[in-house]
A and B are shown apart, each in its own frame.
Chain A
Amino acid sequence: MDRRKFVTLTSAALGLAPWARSSWAQQGVFRIGSLNPITGAGSPYGTGMLKAIQIGSAEVNDAGGAGGVKLEVYAEDSQTSPQAAVLGAKKLIGVNQVRAMLGVWSSGESLAVIPLTNDAGMILMNTAGAPALSAPPVNAKLLSFRLQATNDRFGRAFAQIAKREGFKRPALMAFNNASGIGNTEGFRKAWEAQGGQIVASVVYEPNRPTYRSEVQQVLRANPDVIVTGSYLTDTELLLRAWYETGQQVRWIVPGWAAGPDLIKAVGSQVAEGMISVESISDEGAPSYESFVSRFLQQTGMRAQDNVYATMAYDEVILLALGLQAVGPNATSAVLAAKIHELGNPGGTEVYRYADGKKLLAAGKKVTYVGASSRLNFDQYNDVTPDFAASFAQSGQFVRKYVVKL
């Protein structure tokens, strides 16, 4: 072969390759965008979420796919930043031609990405908390599913716990974003509805080297408990600033901020008595046990430390069961309605994809009992999980009781 021929043939082959691939792709593959916070504030969870989505789609593919197609996962790092999330989503939608977006973590990212997924008419599954994500106009098409409790529900759980612990003078500290403020405002609503009063309230900016002035201002009102809508790093700085003052106060902190990492960072003495509130996985469910062991085996990470990984896993299984039920060519609205149904009681309860697939193929109605919670999607496709109150005791969080809303 002479050089000219070689060049012509090679370029022809290169030019045809993507062509061939896409026609093959349209026949047998359903592409999923996995848009996770691998870096940034969500980095403790993002990698686990991606792995969970991969584990979930492997499970689906091993069971012969969903509705006749295989799942294919395309991943992008959202950097826990709305801007990066939008770029990632655009790439996943435009270049990789994914047909569902899973594993979106925070409210900021989800609120930024949802207009894109709505325009593309695809399912979005997130673990964000912001109340704005529920209702129209944001979720007017009801294509977005939320596997994490809303901040409003977190706030209500906080208020129940604060009441049960006998606190009288709560103060609020919120990270300045939709989720942080959503948490404390949810608490405020629930607390004031019980006839309580908030003694002080501060909204603080991210990425400051210290929050000492902020904490000092709140402590001036002499609260007996500080309720936060915060993340890991800023919570650490809040605790540091508070402990320095020597003033007595207790803390109620969302579980995504208050885990083993927080105690490691501030020391057990500082953390002692702190209350961490977390939506809990459905721990009795076989789906949970099976996921936890596979997750540990394949990643070396503990799913117990990453509730979002469990949620991301449920996202894949739900999507796949939906695809199995309505087929890969159904419209998103039909698919979304089916997923809503699969996440609610009324069908035969299943815990594994393969079992659900069998029943669906036999024309039965199915309810998927999630590993992350019993799901129970409300009219906005938001889950209503239970919450656990864990208390920091000599270096670890010990679960004391469960709160139902």
Chain B
Amino acid sequence: MTFADIVNLTLNGLISGMLVALPALAVSLVYGLARFPNAATGDVVSTGGYAGLFAYTASGSLLAAGAGAAAIGALVGLASYYLAFRAILRRSVITSLLTSIGVGFVIRALLGVMFGHQPRTFDMPITRAARWHGVMLNPTDGQLVLVTLAVLAIVFTLLYGTSMGRKMRALADDADLARVSGIGVERSMVTMWALTGAVCGIAGMMVGVRTVVSPDAGWDTLLPAFAAAVVGGLGNPLGAVVGAILLGVLQEWSTPLVGFVYKIALAYVVMLVVLLIRPQGLFNRVQGVR
């Protein structure tokens, strides 16, 4: 095992982390505002994969694919809010979680009925990686990193640089206090669901470009996304992204020691350790309640 091998492992970890980062961000955003872990996240990701694929096939441009995936993802996010989550807004976490599982099943079944279960792929040539002293850099991965960073930049600008973002954060912080200060819940919710839908949509397109588009593709990203969101601190958008990348890299680094079968378990071991030592997650502060 040379130094270049370790660098390669790190890069591979970064990439798998990046693929999980956006779904994790979506999980965290929903948790922040609606206060439940959204189990339908993965299925919105799958939908984004199909939207991206069709937009790409029609236009031949990845940018258009991204836009299409984001738009359809946002629509699905909004639809899930209006048709399901709005009705149970202030119910218990269990009710919301079960509802989201149901929403996920509906989306997956619809995708299956509409497009079949045959996995599909983006018709893109596979590129050779650039080699530099044994370190391999792939141009497609470069694009993937750029897209992820761009999405993150947009989301964080929205959250921290606009008044809507400030309202959303205020609601996430203390919903009752925000409400008595005159912040409308409805508009923030609508924005949040559209935003997370769009984020999931783009994530779905990226997963589709890297792997395959199928009704189950997004489901596979759900558990890692949950783990990342928990490690980073549920409800903390930055934490979710850092958590995803951290878990991705740690998993790859562990492979020389534990092999490839057990690297997945490692993510959950890390999650357990974090929950034991810092139950609020790596990036959340403990807040006193008076």
Contact = CB atoms under 8 A, between A and B. Distances in A.
Interface of A: 38-40, 43-44, 176, 202-205, 207-210, 212-214, 216-217, 220, 232-233, 236-237, 239-240, 243-246, 261, 264-267, 269-270
Contacts of A176: 261
Contact of B121 (A44, A203, A265): A265
Given A209-B207, A233-B119, A244 B255 contact: no
Contacts of A40: 117, 216
Interface of B: 5, 8-9, 12, 15-16, 19-20, 112, 116-119, 121, 125-129, 131, 136, 138, 207, 210-212, 214-216, 220-221, 252, 255, 259-261, 263-264
Contact of B260 (A38, A204, A245): A204
Given A40-B216, A203-B260, A216-B136, 16 more contacts: A44-B118, A204-B260, A205-B261, A208-B16, A208-B264, A213-B255, A216-B8, A217-B255, A233-B214, A236-B211, A237-B211, A240-B126, A244-B128, A261-B118, A264-B121, A265-B121
A232 B119 contact: yes
B211 A233 contact: yes
A246 B211 contact: no
Nearest to B207: A209
Nearest to B125: A267
Contacts of B221: 209
A216 B5 contact: yes
Contacts of B207: 209
Contacts of A270: 126
A43 B128 contact: no
A180 to B, nearest CB: 11
B129 A233 contact: no
20 contacts: A39-B216, A203-B259, A204-B260, A204-B261, A205-B260, A207-B220, A208-B264, A209-B210, A212-B8, A213-B8, A214-B260, A232-B119, A236-B211, A237-B211, A240-B126, A244-B126, A265-B119, A266-B126, A269-B125, A270-B126
Contacts of A239: 126
A246 B118 contact: no
A212 to B, nearest CB: 5
A240 B128 CA distance: 9
